[in-house]
Amino acid sequence: MFPRRSKSKLITTLTKKLLSRLRLWAVTVRDSFVVLLPLTFLGVAATLLGNVPFPAMQRLMVQFLGIGWQEGTQNVVNATYGVFGLALAVVLSIRLARRLPVIEGSELPQAWVGLAALVNFMLCLTFRGTPTMAALGHDSMLLGIIIGLATPELLRPLIAMRRVTPNYESDPTFYYAIRMTLPLVIASSIVMLAAKVVMGLPPLSMYWLATLPTVINPWIDADWLLSSMAVLINQALWFVGIHGNKVWDLLQAQTLFGAAGAAYDPARAWRPLIDTFVLLGGSGATFGLVISLFIVVREGPFRRLAWMSLLPSFFNINELLIFGVPVALNQTFLLPFFLAPLVLTLLALVAVHTNLVPLLNLVVPWSTPPLLSGYLLTGSWRGAVLQAFGLLVSTLIYLPFVRRAEVARLRSQTEIFDAAISAIASQSQRHLRSEQLGEEVSLVARGLLVALRHDIGSSALSLAFQPKHDRRGAAVGVEALLRWQHSSHGLIRADVAVRLAEEGGLIRRLGAWVLEEACACKARWNTLGLSHITMAINVSPLQLDDPQLPALLSRCLDRYHLSASEIELEITESQAIPLLEVVDRNLEKIVAMGVSLAMDDFGMGYSSLLHMRRFYIRTIKIDGSLIRDVLTNPTSRDIIHTIAALGHTRQLEVVAEFVETVEQRDALAALGCEIFQGYLYSPPLPDEACVEYLLTNGTQVDDKVALATASVFS
Name which position in 481, 544, 595, 690 contacts ligand C2E (CB under 6 A).
Answer: 481
Smallest gap from Cβ 679 to ligand C2E, in A, equals 4
139 binds, among ligand C2E, Ca ion, none (CB under 5 to 8 A by kind): none
Identity of the amino acid at 184: L
Identity of the amino acid at 58: Q
* Residue of closest CB approach to ligand C2E: 678
How many other β-carbons are positioned within 10 Å of the β-carbon of residue 448? 23
Burial class (CB in 10 A: 0-12, 13-18, 19+), 219: exposed
- Residue 466, interface with ligand C2E (CB under 6 A)? yes
Query: First and final CA of the chain: distance in angstroms?
Result: 77
Smallest gap from Cβ 538 to Ca ion, in A, equals 5
How many other β-carbons are positioned within 10 Å of the β-carbon of residue 443? 13
377 binds, among ligand C2E, Ca ion, none (CB under 5 to 8 A by kind): none
> Which residues have C-beta within 8 Å of that of residue 390, sequence separation ≥ 6?
277, 278, 280, 285, 344, 347, 348, 370
Q: Which residues on neighbouring strands pair with residue 469, listed in sequence order?
A: 475, 676
> CB-wise, 546 or 600, nearer to Ca ion?
600
Give the alpha-carbon dihedral of 507, 513, 515, 516, to 10 degrees: 160
Q: Pick out residues in 587-626 that bind Ca ion (CB under 5 A).
A: 600-601
> CB-wise, 570 or 653, nearer to Ca ion?
570
> CB-wise, 212 or 494, nearer to ligand C2E?
494
> CB-wise, 387 or 538, nearer to Ca ion?
538
Specify whether the backbone of 66 is left (phi greater than 0), alpha (psi in -120 to 50) or beta: left
Name which position in 265, 660, 666, 702 contacts ligand C2E (CB under 6 A).
Answer: 660
- Residue 494, interface with ligand C2E (CB under 6 A)? yes
Name which position in 658, 672, 674, 690 contacts ligand C2E (CB under 6 A).
Answer: 658
Letters for 496-535 (x = contact with ligand C2E by CB under 6 A, - = none) are --x---------------x---------------------
Q: Pick out residues in 279-298 that bind ligand C2E (CB under 6 A).
A: none
CA separation for the pair 603, 626 (Å, rounded): 8
> CB-wise, 106 or 538, nearer to Ca ion?
538
Name which position in 80, 429, 540, 596 contacts ligand C2E (CB under 6 A).
Answer: 540
495 binds, among ligand C2E, Ca ion, none (CB under 5 to 8 A by kind): ligand C2E
Q: Which residues on neighbouring strands pair with residue 484, listed in sequence order?
A: 461, 492
Stretch that binds ligand C2E, among 104-112, 168-176, 536-544, 612-620 (CB under 6 A): 536-544
Cβ–Cβ < 8 Å for 92, 117: yes
Identity of the amino acid at 148: G
> CB-wise, 44 or 482, nearer to ligand C2E?
482
Number of shown-chain residues binding Ca ion (CB under 5 A): 4
> CB-wise, 149 or 627, nearer to ligand C2E?
627
DSSP single-letter state for residue 465: E
Smallest gap from Cβ 664 to ligand C2E, in A, equals 9
Smallest gap from Cβ 673 to Ca ion, in A, equals 14
- Residue 539, interface with ligand C2E (CB under 6 A)? yes
**Size (the chain), residues:** 714
Letters for 411-450 (x = contact with ligand C2E by CB under 6 A, - = none) are ----------------------------------------
Name which position in 30, 431, 493, 641 contacts ligand C2E (CB under 6 A).
Answer: 493
Stretch that binds ligand C2E, among 74-82, 421-429, 605-613, 677-685 (CB under 6 A): 677-685
From the list 561, 571, 554, the residue with the least C-alpha distance to 531 is 561
From the list 357, 413, 421, the residue with the least C-alpha distance to 386 is 357
540 binds, among Ca ion, ligand C2E, none (CB under 5 to 8 A by kind): ligand C2E
Q: Pick out residues in 558-577 that bind Ca ion (CB under 5 A).
A: 570
Q: Which residues on neighbouring strands pair with residue 257, listed in sequence order?
A: 269
Smallest gap from Cβ 320 to ligand C2E, in A, equals 43
CA separation for the pair 351, 272 (Å, rounded): 14
CA separation for the pair 355, 364 (Å, rounded): 20
Positive/negative CA dihedral, 474, 476, 482, 485: positive
Identity of the amino acid at 342: L
From the list 599, 591, 550, 551, the residue with the least C-alpha distance to 575 is 599
> Which residues have C-beta within 8 Å of that of residue 579, sequence separation ≥ 6?
none
CA separation for the pair 622, 637 (Å, rounded): 11
Cβ–Cβ < 8 Å for 245, 283: yes
29 binds, among Ca ion, ligand C2E, none (CB under 5 to 8 A by kind): none
DSSP single-letter state for residue 257: B
Is the N-terminal amide bond of 326 cis, ω within 30° of 0?
A: yes
- Residue 149: which H helix or E strand, with range? helix 141-161
> CB-wise, 78 or 574, nearer to ligand C2E?
574
Name which position in 437, 482, 500, 685 contacts ligand C2E (CB under 6 A).
Answer: 482
Number of shown-chain residues binding ligand C2E (CB under 6 A): 22
CA separation for the pair 82, 88 (Å, rounded): 11
Name which position in 127, 174, 679, 713 contacts ligand C2E (CB under 6 A).
Answer: 679
Name which position in 600, 643, 656, 665 contacts ligand C2E (CB under 6 A).
Answer: 600
Smallest gap from Cβ 700 to ligand C2E, in A, equals 20
Smallest gap from Cβ 436 to ligand C2E, in A, equals 24
CA separation for the pair 85, 99 (Å, rounded): 21
Smallest gap from Cβ 607 to ligand C2E, in A, equals 17
CA contacts within 13 A on the Cβ side of 307: 7
321 binds, among Ca ion, ligand C2E, none (CB under 5 to 8 A by kind): none
CA separation for the pair 570, 227 (Å, rounded): 76
Smallest gap from Cβ 532 to ligand C2E, in A, equals 22
Name which position in 31, 107, 265, 495 contacts ligand C2E (CB under 6 A).
Answer: 495
Stretch that binds ligand C2E, among 3-11, 334-342, 346-354, 488-496 (CB under 6 A): 488-496
Smallest gap from Cβ 622 to Ca ion, in A, equals 9
Give the alpha-carbon dihedral of 357, 363, 365, 366, to 10 degrees: 60
> CB-wise, 139 or 570, nearer to ligand C2E?
570
> CB-wise, 138 or 469, nearer to Ca ion?
469
Smallest gap from Cβ 569 to ligand C2E, in A, equals 10
From the list 472, 490, 516, 384, the residue with the least C-alpha distance to 675 is 472
- Contacts with Ca ion, residue ranges (CB under 5 A): 538, 570, 600-601
- Contacts with ligand C2E, residue ranges (CB under 6 A): 466, 481-482, 493-495, 498, 514, 538-540, 570, 572, 600-601, 657-660, 678-679, 684
